[in-house]
Amino acid sequence: MSRSLIVSASGIRGIVGRGLTPDIAARYGAAFASHIAGAAPGRGRVLIGRDSRVSGPALLDAVSAGVRAAGLDACDLGIVATPTGLLAVAEDEAAIGGLLVTASHNPAPWNGLKLVAGEGRFLSPAAGRDVQRRFEGEIEYVGSASMGDRSARDGAGRAHIERILSLPIIDRELIASNAFHVALDCVRGAGGPIMLPLLERLGCRVSGFDLEPDGRFPRPPEPLVENLGTLAACVTEVGADIGFAVDPDVDRLALVDEHGRPVGEDWTLALAVELVAAREPAPVVTNLSASRLIQDAADRAGVPLLRTPVAEANVVARMLEAGSSIGGEGNGGVIYGGLHLTRDAPLAAALILQFLAESGSTLGAAVDERPSYRIVKRTISREGLGIEEALAAIAAAAPSGAAVDRQDGIRLEWPDGSWIHARPSGTEPIFRIMAEATGEVLADERADWVDALVRRAV
C-alpha cells in the first residue's frame, strides 16, 4: 500500500495518481464488498455516490467494478452529499452497505472512499480494520456468472430534503414566516443541488454562488473562518440575514452573521445543541477538540456533555450508548438522531434557521449574548515527527493542576476551563494542535508551548 494513502476508521484518502489510483479504488471496493457480504450473507446491493471532484467519475467507476467483481450489485447515486448517501443506505431495504467517493474538506488533488454499513452509519473501527486486512490480503473474486449488476438511480437528494422537512423539530411555517435572506457558498462541491432547494422550501430568499457541482473549488474547501471572505462580503453586499458555507461533501456547515462576520465552526453545533437539548433532554456527545461553547450549550439545557476521541464513528457510538438526541464535532458537523446518525449540513442549516425563528434573535446577537473563547489551531507536518515522543513530552510537561485525557493524543484542561488538544490527524499527514481560552494571549501562549514541545520530537 502506498505510504501516501491515509487510512482512517471510515475509509481512505490520498492524492489522486499518487496515493490513490483507480486500481486501488477497485481493490478497496472489492475488499469492502467481501467484508459487507460476510456481515450480511446473500446477494445485496451497495449504493455508491460521489462528491463533485474532477477525479470522481473515474474512481466511482473503479469502485463499482470492484464491488461487482466481488459478487455484489452496485447502484450509482451520482453526485450526492455524504449525509444523503448514508440516509439512502439506511432507508433502502435492499442496500447492505454504501461507498462514497469523496475526500471531504481536503484540497482538490485529493479523493477518497468513505465506507458505510448497512444501517447507514460509517463502519466501526473494527469493521474498518477488517476491510483493510482484506485489501492487503487475497481477495476472492467471483466468476462471470456471479458478477454483480450495475444500476443507477436519482432522487436521493429530494428524499433527504423531504425527510428534513418532515421532522417535528422543524416548523416550516414558522421559518418561512421570517423570510430569511440567506447567502450560500457551496464551493462547487455537492452542496448546491441539495442546499438551494432545501432553503427555498423553507421560504428563504437565497443569494448563492459557487453552487455548480463541477469540483473546481474556488477557495480552500474547508469552511474555516479564513476561507469565508467571499461569503462574508456577499452577506454584506446583499444584506443577508445569515451566511451558510459547506464543504465539498456537505457534512459541515459554517456560519456568517448578518454583519458579515464569520463566527467560527463551533457555533453551528452549539446553537443546534441549545435548540435540540431543550426539547429532548439527554446527554450531548462531542469530541475532545470541540470548543467549550458546546459545554456551555449543554449547561444551558441542563444536560451532561460527554467527550470522545475525534472521528464521527466514535461520537456516534457514544451517542448510541448514552441515548443522545444530538451530538457532533466542533468543525461544523451536527448529528441529530431524530433523522440519522451522521454529520449533516442540510439538516444543520434547518436547525439553525429553526433556532433563529424560535428565539427571534439574529445570529450576531445570539453569539454576542453568550460567552466566547479564543481558539487557536496549528498544524505540523508529520514527516520525521516522533508521534509517541511528542505526546510523552507534553504529558511530562503537564502542569499539576491540569486534567489529562489520553483517549486521543493528549488533552489537558485547566481549572478555568481552558484546554489544549494535540493529536495526529487521521485524514491528513499532519499533527494537529488546538488551544482554547477566554483570552487571545493565553490561547496563543498555550499553543506556542505545545508547538515547541512537539517540534523537539522531530
CA 331 – CA 270 distance, rounded (Å): 11
What stretches of 102-232 adopt beta strand conformation (E)?
A: 110-117, 150-152, 181-185, 205-209
Cα dist from 188 to 147, 264, 281, 381, whole Å: 35, 21, 37, 28
The position carrying cell 490520498 is: 14
Q: Are 87 and 120 in contact (CB under 8 A)?
A: yes
Q: Which of 34, 104, 289, 291 is catalytic?
A: 104
CB atoms within 10 A of CB 340: 21
DSSP state letters, 314-376? HHHHHHHHHT-SEEEETTTEEEETTT-SS--HHHHHHHHHHHHHHH---HHHHHHTS---EEE
Q: Residue 61 corresponds to which cell in the numbers above? A: 467507476
Strand partners, 243: 183, 256
Strand partners, 432: 379, 423
What stretches of 86-186 adopt beta strand conformation (E)?
A: 95-101, 110-117, 150-152, 181-185
CA 197 – CA 260 distance, rounded (Å): 23
Residue 104 is among the residues annotated as catalytic for this protein: yes
Q: How far is CA 55 from the centre of its chain?
A: 20
CA 111 – CA 100 distance, rounded (Å): 10
63, amino acid identity = V
Catalytic residues: 104
